[in-house]
Structure 1
Amino acid sequence: MRLFCLPYSGGSAMFYARWRRLLPTWIDVRPVEWPGRGARMDEPLATDPRALASQLAAEIHTRLDGPYALFGHSLGALIAFELTHSLLDRGAPAPAVLFASGAEAPSVRDGSIWRLPLSDDALLEELRNLQGTPDEALSNAELMRSALPVLRADFLMCGAYTYRPRYPLPCPVHVFGGVDDETSRESLHAWRRETSAGFTLDVLPGHHFFIHTQQAELLDLIGSALARQSGRSIGSHWSKDHERILRPATR
């Protein structure tokens, strides 16, 4: 099972490389880097979400010679959704699961406040509010000089996104949210409209970047979902809406 993982705003897909040693060996983690960062640093940054999804679909389509799934966090979830539609439009098989993490459903999101470029100060304030960047990184001027252009392009991509109603996806959609994230429960449930198959919502402890603080729990849920889809454990995907709220472990 190949698991294609898409980054969040300002991040690199190589964050997911660590998942290779944390998930079962039958899950082949494939970080999907976007232009302008990581190994693709020499390419222009993307600011058009639909064009990016189409480009990624063209690149990934030739590698779909077996079962696969898609995971995206925050902006990455939005791109993963568009990427799924782009792949299906190209005649590719549907993913086993679309994992959408830390993101409002496309049909209810409003990114209009991001349509114009943000100043450096405004971008730094957004990073602080999201609580996913250490203070020492925020105060590192050299690091921020290289990070802020990527973040600015990603926020422009958020602002440029417009929702297009289409046929429901034929694959299950598994959504993750943070208990203390600003993303509302209703906007997470709205992902249910985008699938004709199973829907699951897992709400984990933490803020927007629960993907870091609850990594072990998140990966356990991902592994279990993929195991069900691949027949590696008893059961199948949920046939109706299903929500779980996970609490911090007690010691």
Structure 2
Amino acid sequence: MLIEPKSLTLFCFPCAGASAATYLRWRRLLPDWIGVEPVEPPGRGARIAEPLIDDYDSLVDRMTDELAGALPTNYVFFGHSMGALLAYGCAHRLRDRRERGPRALILACCAAPTRRDEERLARLRTDAALLQELKDLNGTPTDVFEHPELLRLTLDILRADFGVCSSFRRFERAPLDLDLHIFGGVDDEIEEERLTAWSLETSAATTLQMFDGGHFVIRDRESDILASLRNALRGFAPAERESRRAFS
């Protein structure tokens, strides 16, 4: 796909069980110099007819193939939960291919590669366990639980996505050379120590910002998240456009 030229393109990777549609509203909530480009994994949303992929390396290879060759000059990856792992993987794959890489990674509510809880993921295999996980995370619309066909689709996507997360392995390669901005929720089960360990994955700077809320803090504290997101991206914005926005 060809990307419309923007001062900065923000590629957004969704969390497990979710679709890229999560980020569509950001197009009108972020400044016009940021081009929001949601990244849709196969098997959901606009790609519902395609088979789901439940292996991390296979999914990252597929998504990197689709992004490579049409990348803008100036772009950043954002990922929430599983989306953070996908953004991290695509950044590594693009570097391996000597493609133009992102200027930074902004990762929300995802434990660092060295602080993953593999035992928890291994327990999430049955429908009952997946259903309880949906309820515990409190990030699924209540309508989903009231419609059997929609719930079946959601559980199938979630099972595949947890397979992606379970098959993730840390890249045993040189750290990335780009800034990492990490967002977390103070009530999320992913503690601050597991977030700060992202600093091991880059030779550049790492920042951490905690917000009131749980695992879906990017939804529950959206205005705060977007304010911090804009602040993190400001360094990539042409000064004259940001100045006009400030005084409009």
Q: TM-score, normalised by structure 1?
A: 0.88
Matches for 1:110-125 after TM superposition, within 5 Å: 110-115=117-122, 118-125=125-132
For residues 69 and 33 of structure 2, what CA distance do their matches in structure 1 show?
20
Aligned to 1:170: 177
Secondary structure of the residue aligned to 1:107 is helix
Give CA deviations for 1:55-102 in whole Å, capped at 9, x if unaligned. Answer: 111111112131000011011101110111011111122312101101
* Native 8 Å contact 1:105 1:189 kept in 2: yes
Secondary structure of the residue aligned to 2:36 is strand
For residues 207 and 27 of structure 2, what CA distance do their matches in structure 1 show?
24
For residues 41 and 136 of structure 1, what CA distance do their matches in structure 2 show?
19
Out of 107, 115, 121, the position equivalent to 1:108 is: 115
- Report % sequence identity: 43
Point out the structure with the larger helix share. Answer: 2
2:222 paired with 1:192: no
Q: TM-score, normalised by structure 2?
A: 0.89
Out of 123, 129, 138, the position equivalent to 2:136 is: 129
CA drift at 1:116: 7.2
Out of 144, 147, 151, the position equivalent to 2:151 is: 144
**Alpha carbon RMSD of aligned pairs, Å?**
1.6
Any unmatched runs of 5+ in structure 1?
Answer: 234-251
Matches for 1:148-227 after TM superposition, within 5 Å: 148-227=155-234
Aligned to 1:90: 97
For residues 37 and 228 of structure 1, what CA distance do their matches in structure 2 show?
34
Secondary structure of the residue aligned to 2:65 is helix
Any unmatched runs of 5+ in structure 2?
Answer: 1-7, 241-248
For residues 125 and 174 of structure 2, what CA distance do their matches in structure 1 show?
34
Q: How many residues align?
A: 233
Aligned to 1:23: 30
* Native 8 Å contact 2:180 2:206 kept in 1: yes
Aligned to 1:6: 13
* Native 8 Å contact 1:94 1:170 kept in 2: no
Matches for 1:31-70 after TM superposition, within 5 Å: 31-70=38-77
Secondary structure of the residue aligned to 2:25 is helix
